[in-house]
Structure 1
């Protein structure tokens, strides 16, 4: 379901916990194998989000979900992509969660008080949790932001304002002129707020404010304007001091900006996602935040958590990454991304194996358990999550999803040997067990096993095993 207008629903962004001290060097990467994740060896990232699947069906959940990453681009959903906290007051659901590390090193989680897509619902409150480690959540409460009537409190996020000795909470509401502006209310404890006022108003609708504070003496505010992501900046955090400066970026109708600083380089990423349920995340990058210009990131390099919407990304330590994985576990399933069509994933449709663009409906048709090969345990077989009695096997060289009949022939047809990716050795390719000169590849988006010799065929036969 699309939003009825450019500003008819809340969105999400990030504040990268800049008040917290986090080491700036990071190494290591996710081990994208079946149900496993490597330990982090340096500063990492956590993403908070809610989930919406296509047509708001199975896979839609308005609770707090978490994923972790060592590189800020590839994400490991926690708790099998189920929520780790759920609101019990207000609308009994959340959108647009925001995670911030406070001055004392603990975390606070904020979120819009809204379940589903009832954009006409008004609320002066937001959801709040406290957490020492993002493994337990305490002190759940509703926090009142303002006294305005007939308006909303969308997409809250917070920042530390050292000059005031208080936290500012940004959120989107309709002002007296009738258009959306970015408001701020101040707090010391996230239990009461004071001095609600307009933080940024260019004279027309803007929502989804996201701040990066104190970058070479400048503060950067990114927001959604007319279906694009736009930046403003100021040398202070005073309401009304920000001026627009950047070139807009978008991929279709885009909202929910998230600014993220790399731990290992001068790179900044700007994330945004599309409006539709099961919105698609896109990322841009720059090495100079002051330039206001962005370059699209190759989609091979990043993968959003399944069904994720309107996220927040915060810096965490390697130990916090490891503790979160230990607490919630890695997924018991994988997704396989196409190398030369990185917006497409391996799925079954009508029991035929193919690659289709994300989002996929039903989404579970793109989830696989990579189990020991049925004919050779050193190989791998692809067990369907949505149809667990069925496996991908080749038949007349075409891949289809069939019930395991227990025969030797089926076991051999359904067994493959994982190799270094033929087009990129950091990815994976899969060689047929009983036709060892043939590899799984796509042709016309349909999966089959073929001999591979040309560069284009090698690209067709290369996949990323992720989540």
Structure 2
């Protein structure tokens, strides 16, 4: 029996070694209203995404007013640790945080009190993580409405009172955080910002959603900078998405191609646009991508293929907690 177990372990180690150094991609997402927590899918080509853990959740939400886990954003640190933040409620002034070494077993969940100093803050939506290599610093940024704080925009009756801007904090260790500051303040209501680094030039491209509702925009646009510490220009591009409502952009380089995946939330399906010139021109490739049924807003990130293979061979069948 021991010899059989040893052979299985050796086979697994050899399989993981064979995949070491090869690229693969993960997509973190939620389904429904996110009550069951974190879901993961994988891809080797950026087009076909397959659910992991047989479509079951990897982590059940435990913090926040509503104990949700919407918009999970995952970033892998240089030491291999995966850090995740998420939206914990429609009306929280905190965001959720947890970490993991293997995406299966997770640390105790924490509430980061990013807007508790703003008593009238309406929300903390769709937090995203970005690791700035030059300063070895993590940026956490999210959308918040603070009534009367910003230039008013025309809103529909259903979205009356919502006027979002992007705020941020920084951290090096996820134990201490900077004070909350303004991150992106354009002349429109903005949510769902996500950043990707151009591999060769190091330039940063940020995708945002224009959330204006009267008349409705509900499209994705980009802005770019050389250094995140300098901020992003508030003059954004023309829409990169088409004549449909889009949100939850997830930018990802697959080779030289830049994909932006997004939720066509009115159509109840996922879409994508692709650029072969680092965001200068775009083509809609929604008909070429496939995602697990019910996929909602998340993030796409590159990992070593051995990470995916370990998840595929994992026998976990329930939520992982340490």
User: C-alpha displacement at 1:199, in angstroms?
Assistant: 0.9
Residue number in structure 2 paired with 1:259: 251
**Secondary structure, aligned partner of 2:312:** helix
Candidates 272, 275, 289, aligned match of 2:278: 289
Distance, in Å, in 1 between the alignment partners of 2:286 and 2:31 is 24
Q: Summarize the alignment of residues 173-322 of structure 1 with structure 2, pairs less than 5 Å apart.
A: 173-175=144-146, 176-177=149-150, 179-213=163-197, 215=199, 216-225=201-210, 226-238=217-229, 240-251=231-242, 252-262=244-254, 265-276=255-266, 279-291=268-280, 293-297=281-285, 299=287, 301-322=288-309
Report how many aligned residue pairs link the two structures. 275
Residue number in structure 1 paired with 2:7: none
Distance, in Å, in 1 between the alignment partners of 2:101 and 2:194 is 23
Residue number in structure 2 paired with 1:44: 24
Question: TM-score of the superposition, structure 2-length normalised?
Answer: 0.79
Higher relative CO (Cα under 8 Å, sequence separation at least 6) belongs to: 2
Distance, in Å, in 2 between the alignment partners of 1:315 and 1:266 is 13
Distance, in Å, in 2 between the alignment partners of 1:149 and 1:269 is 38
Distance, in Å, in 2 between the alignment partners of 1:240 and 1:329 is 42
Residue number in structure 2 paired with 1:155: 126
Mark the CA change 1:249 to 1:62 in structure 2 (over 3 Å): closer, same or farther: farther
Higher strand share: 1
Structure 1 gap ranges (5+): 1-38, 115-120, 331-467
Mark the CA change 1:297 to 1:290 in structure 2 (over 3 Å): closer, same or farther: closer
Mark the CA change 1:204 to 1:243 in structure 2 (over 3 Å): closer, same or farther: closer
User: C-alpha displacement at 1:298, in angstroms?
Assistant: 5.4
User: C-alpha displacement at 1:290, in angstroms?
Assistant: 4.3
Question: TM-score of the superposition, structure 1-length normalised?
Answer: 0.55
User: C-alpha displacement at 1:239, in angstroms?
Assistant: 5.7
Superimposed CA distance per residue, residues 58-83 of structure 1 (whole angstroms, 9 cap, x where no aligned partner): xx744101111111211111122111
Superimposed CA distance per residue, residues 76-123 of structure 1 (whole angstroms, 9 cap, x where no aligned partner): 111221111011122222110011001322101111012xxxxxx421
Candidates 85, 90, 109, aligned match of 1:140: 109
Superimposed CA distance per residue, residues 194-241 of structure 1 (whole angstroms, 9 cap, x where no aligned partner): 221111111220100100135413211101012100001111213644
CA RMSD of aligned residues (A): 2.3
Mark the CA change 1:149 to 1:281 in structure 2 (over 3 Å): closer, same or farther: same
Superimposed CA distance per residue, residues 160-215 of structure 1 (whole angstroms, 9 cap, x where no aligned partner): 23454421101001241262111111112223322211111112201001001354
User: C-alpha displacement at 1:250, in angstroms?
Assistant: 2.6
Residue number in structure 2 paired with 1:170: 141
Distance, in Å, in 1 between the alignment partners of 2:58 and 2:26 is 13
User: C-alpha displacement at 1:48, in angstroms?
Assistant: 0.8
